[in-house]
Amino acid sequence: MSPTATLRSDAAPPLRLVEQTNIEDQGLESSNCAQIEFRDVTKMYGPIAAVSELSLSIRRGEFLTILGPSGSGKTTALMMLAGFEAPTKGDILISGKSVAAVPSYRRDQGIVFQSYALFPHLTVRRNLEFPLEMRGVNARDRMSRVDRMLKRVHLDAFGERMPSQLSGGQQQRVALARALIADAPILLLDEPLGALDRNLREQMQGEIKALHREFDKTTICVTHDQEEALTLSDRIVVMRGGRIEQLDTPEALYDRPATRFVANFLGEANMLDSPELGFEKKANPGTVPMIRPERVRIAAERAKPLSDQDRRCVVIGTVEEMIYAGPLRKYQVRVGGNLLVVREHVASAQETFGPGDRVRLDWLRADVRSLGE
Ligand SMILES: Nc1ncnc2c1ncn2[C@@H]1O[C@H](COP(=O)(O)OP(=O)(O)OP(=O)(O)O)[C@@H](O)[C@H]1O
């Protein structure tokens, strides 16, 4: 039986879609119940393990981001899921079934690459029609689905243009629309906003979030941009050297990083492993205390102590740098051999300090996190 699905749109009444591809004979269950599992997956390139013993379950409808520095194995993991690379060891399952024998074009996934990968010789409309044609959708249905989708991504006036006649953001919206139009249950995004400038990236993050809410696809996104990962994801996998360093929600990863690597990768972090900051190595082997810059308060050296002072760590230092960052002020404060970063909201700041000012920094002991090395 052909799986059916409903495509929602703000701009139009619900549209009934009929999938033409019979994926059940490929060993996959019907769409819209996608659930992905990496089981102990390793990918070797000669002697290099691009991905090592990766085990990971992705829930239906989840937005999961694979985050990590260059060379950490993010793209390789995504390419194996897409079917462009085969694992050297281990297995990948979709809805409980191995996809080892399923070629990429039968995996029923929409894919968006950083470089848009639109067909340059086809109009926007023809680009969107292509995946529908591949699935045998008839001309009349193709037309109405393309019209709806163009409207949904605010490109209804651009259907007859060639990709080269669009801006970067518009091209990326076409790429997203093309990945969504066939209503595949899984959406793979490979650095989808990497080619866009900062403002456009933020705008497109909002757009991707809205599309995810609306279309409810299981989405796996690869990025090295921590802000993008924190903004978009239900959960984030932080990769390092082909392995998972930590997997959690954005909030938990930021607030309770397990290791020094994760703490540094997801924002700024003050490591407090120095005797000048009250740290005793012998008492805490293998761990590093860390405080986030926005958890540190800054006051004049001789300011009156606060009432909860007994619950706080206090150090005295000298401001080296003060940087305006829009709504925030960022200080770099020298405390002996350490340079601590403090971030303060301008609206809540009592006083402004400049280079050379002696200041008192304090933070709640409860806000200090103990990290693995
Ligand atoms: N086709 C290949 N042949 C040989 N080595 C490869 C190949 N593809 C990737 N690698 C190696 O595997 C490791 C992981 O690469 P991968 O592209 O997955 O990392 P990444 O985290 O996506 O990096 P980036 O953010 O730079 O794309 C790297 O050391 C890389 O050099």
Tokens 């954005």 sit on residue: 250
Sheet holding 109-113, edge to edge: 109-113, 186-190, 218-223, 63-67, 235-240, 243-248
Report the amino acid identity of residue 127: N
Task: Give the ranges where the chain is alpha helix by DSSP (H).
Answer: 74-82, 124-134, 139-152, 168-181, 198-215, 226-232, 250-255, 260-265
Count the Cβ atoms, other than its own, within 10 Å of residue 107. 21
Question: Is the pLDDT score of 283 beyond 80?
Answer: no
pLDDT at residue number 116:
59
Choice from 41, 72, 74, 76 to test ligand 1 binding pocket (greatest atom count within 8 A of CB):
76
Over residues 304-332, the mean pLDDT reads 89
DSSP string, 312-361: EEEEEEEEEEEEEETTEEEEEEEETTEEEEEEEEGGG-S----TT-EEEE
Rounded to an integer, the average pLDDT of 326-351 is 92
Model pLDDT for residues 35-89, shown as the tens digit of each residue: 899 999 999 999 999 999 999 999 999 999 999 999 999 999 999 999 999 999 9
For residue 264, pLDDT beyond 60: yes
> Do residues 194 and 27 touch, judged by C-beta distance below 8 A?
no
Q: Give the mean pLDDT of the chain.
A: 86
Count other C-beta atoms under 10 Å from residue 136's C-beta: 10
Q: In which residue are the tokens 């409903």 written?
A: 6
**Terminal CA-to-CA distance of the chain, rounded, Å?**
53
Q: Identify the pLDDT of residue 259.
A: 96
Mean pLDDT across the stretch 100-107? 89
What spacing in Å lies between the alpha carbon of 371 and ligand 1's midpoint?
28
Residue 278 DSSP symbol: T
Residue nearest to atom 18 of ligand 1 (CA): 73
- How remote is the CA of residue 74 from the centroid of ligand 1, in Å? 8
User: Residue 269: pLDDT band by 50, 70, 90 thresholds?
Assistant: very high
Phi/psi at 210 (5° precision):
-65, -40
Q: What is the band of 226 on the pLDDT scale with cuts at 50, 70, 90?
A: very high
pLDDT of residue 280: 75
The residue to mutate among 38, 45, 81, having the most atoms of ligand 1 within 8 angstroms of its beta carbon, is 45
pTM for the full predicted model = 0.85
Percentage of the chain lying above the pLDDT 70 cut: 90
For a mutational test of ligand 1's pocket, the pick from 74, 193, 222, 243, i.e. the residue with the most ligand atoms closer than 8 A to its C-beta, is 74
Contact (Cβ atoms closer than 8 angstroms) between residue 41 and residue 60 = no
Q: What is the pLDDT of residue 41?
A: 98
Calculate how far, in angstroms, residue 70's C-alpha sits from the geometric centre of ligand 1.
8
Superfamily name and number for 4-260:
P-loop containing nucleotide triphosphate hydrolases (3.40.50.300)
The one-letter amino acid at 71: G
List the chain domain ranges: 4-260, 276-372
| Interval 138-151: pLDDT, tens | 999 999 999 999 99
For residue 340, is pLDDT > 50?
yes
Residue nearest to atom 3 of ligand 1 (CA): 45
Query: What is the pLDDT averaged over residues 223-241?
Result: 94
Q: How far is the CA of 50 from the centre of ligand 1 (A)?
A: 6
**Over 60: is that where the pLDDT of 302 sits?**
yes
Q: Is the pLDDT of residue 15 over 80?
A: no
Q: How far is the CA of 214 from the centre of ligand 1 (A)?
A: 33
Nearest atom (ligand 1) to Cα of 68: 21
The protein residue with its alpha carbon nearest to ligand 1, atom 2, reads: 45
14 pLDDT higher than 60:
no
For residue 52, the model assigns a pLDDT of 98
Give the burial string for 328-358 (b: 16+ CB within 10 Å, else e).
ebbbbbebeebebbbbbeeeeeeeebeeebe
CA of 242 to the centre of ligand 1 (A): 9
What distance in angstroms lies between residue 84's CA and the mean position of ligand 1's atoms? 14
Would you say 266 and 240 are in contact if contact means Cβ atoms under 8 Å apart?
no
**231 alpha carbon, distance to own chain's centre:** 7
Alpha helices in 216-300 (DSSP H): 226-232, 250-255, 260-265
Residues with C-beta less than 6 Å from any ligand 1 atom? 45, 48, 50, 68, 70-76, 224
Q: What is the mean pLDDT of residues 177-187?
A: 91
Ligand 1 atom with the smallest distance to the CA of 51 is 14
- Mean pLDDT, range 174-200, rounded to an integer: 87
Could you tell me the distance, in angstroms and rounded to a whole number, from the CA of residue 256 to the centre of ligand 1? 28
* Region 102-120 average pLDDT: 84
- CA 77 to ligand 1: nearest atom: 18
User: Nearest 5°: phi and psi at 309?
Assistant: -60, -30
Domain 276-372 has CATH 2.30.30.90: no
- Residue 198 CB contacts under 8 Å (≥ 6 apart), including other chains: none
